[in-house]
Amino acid sequence: MDKYLCEPCGYIYDPEVGDPDGGIAPGTAFEDIPDDWVCPVCGASKDAFVVAD
């Protein structure tokens, strides 16, 4: 599974870790995160993320 980069702040969403504080369980692919989820660091919307290299 790909990792995703929040372009505004540099946060990396790692599907192996998820976002437990945001209700996203480890092992959750980025595509499977609800559309209303936001970056836990800066609050950017999901569309501000790009695939990390």
CATH number at residue 27: 2.20.28.10
CA dihedral over 11, 14, 2, 38, signed as positive or negative: negative
23 is in an annotated binding site: no
28: alpha, beta or left? (left if phi > 0; alpha if psi -120 to 50): beta
**pLDDT of 6:** 98
Give the residue-averaged pLDDT of 28-53: 97
Q: Which two tokens stand for residue 48?
A: 């501000």
Task: Please tell me the distance from the alpha carbon of residue 15 to that of residue 12, in angstroms, as a whole number.
Answer: 10
Structural domain harbouring 16: 4-51
12 is in an annotated binding site: no
19 is in an annotated binding site: no
Domains in the chain, number: 1
43 is in an annotated binding site: no
Amino acid at the residue 43:
G
Query: 52 falls in which pLDDT band (50, 70, 90)?
Result: very high
Cα separations (Å) of 10 from 32, 36, 52?
Answer: 21, 19, 10
